[in-house]
Amino acid sequence: MTPTQKPHHHHHTHTLTSLNRAFLWGISLNAGFVIIEFAVGLFYGSMGLLSDAGHNLSDVASLLLAMLAFRLAQVHATPHYTYGYKKSTVLISLLNSVILLIAVGMIIAESIGRMFHPAPVEGGAIAWTAGIGVVVNGFTAWLFMKDKDRDLNVKGAYLHMAADALVSIGVLLSGVVISWTGWTLIDPIVGLAVACVIVASVWSLTRDSLRLSLDGVPEGIDVEQIGQRMSTVEGVRTVHHIHVWAISTTENALTAHVVVTDLAAQERIKHDLKHLLCELGISHATLEFETPEECCSDFSD
């Protein structure tokens, strides 16, 4: 993850503009497809289309919330919110995962009901509608692909869209099977497959979002390794009381006590440590310097 620094301001602004455009495209395309999919699903009584449309509707809501999080993350800090609203990106990521889990429950319930009470469906219409979904979801996933490792919300959007593209392929195949064989039971089976794909794609998102909302150590950060790397900086004797948490889905913070051999060199040491931490994905660091003779009482060298 790249630290936010003035030399990268132009690149940072370009990335935000690009992501904002991607969200607008994704929301517009998926909202239009949801309307089409609901209409066709209701007209032909396809559980596969209706369940997929419900999931796509939750994705539209997720994209809207993710875009809102990006806007809130740009709000300046205030005396009451000293980090601004950056934490909203974490909370919205958690909310999105909850929305998806609710959608899974609805899909499973409806699909099981259809297995016990099957209804005739039009395979051709299902296949054509799902084919449109493959294009829409695949294109939307491509919009987020290059930035998916920069932010948890973008990663969530990418995973949702990529999973939806695969789900639409499954619905398309079910439509073809129904057209050729008339086996309508495949429709609720695909509905259950949709649920499995969603659970698989949302599990890591839910886990990471919950961890960050509880100020847990962000994914990819090894506190023990950070302490060891900090201790290798010239003038640093040891480091303790290390705490790392996420300010947002793209920025991490750290506090630590640093025992140094010479307090007169602390400005140079601080500069070296913050440069190192930026390389390790921590853009905000608060460091307390101590000497071996006057370090905090609950630490023993």
CATH number at residue 249: 3.30.70.1350
- From residue 35, alpha-carbon distances to 41, 48, 54, 56, 161 in Å are 10, 15, 10, 10, 17
In a domain, 236, yes or no: yes
- Do 33 and 169 have their domain in common? yes
| Local structure of residue 284 (DSSP, 8 states) | E
- Do 24 and 96 have their domain in common? yes
Model pTM score: 0.69
Tokens of 92: 């919205």
- Average pLDDT (3-10) is 40
14 has pLDDT over 50: no
- Do 209 and 235 have their domain in common? no
- Do 145 and 236 have their domain in common? no
- Do 171 and 22 have their domain in common? yes
What percentage of the chain reaches a pLDDT higher than 70? 87
- Do 95 and 43 have their domain in common? yes
- Do 246 and 110 have their domain in common? no
For residue 37, the number of C-alpha atoms closer than 13 Å in the C-beta half-sphere is 28
- Do 240 and 209 have their domain in common? no
- Average pLDDT (60-79) is 80
The Cα 168–Cα 12 span in angstroms is: 34
Residue 298: per-residue pLDDT: 57
The C-alpha angle 173, 178, 184, rounded to 5 degrees, equals 115
Nearest 5°: phi and psi at 252?
Answer: -115, 150
Residue 8's pLDDT band (boundaries 50, 70, 90)?
very low
Tokens of 219: 């994914």
As for how many domains the chain has, the answer is 2
The larger pLDDT score, comparing residue 114 to residue 257, is at 257
- Average pLDDT (164-171) is 77
pLDDT tens-digit series, residues 82-95: 888 888 888 888 88
**Residues with Cβ within 8 Å of residue 280, at least 6 apart in sequence:** 221, 226, 229
Q: Which domain range does residue 242 map to?
A: 223-294
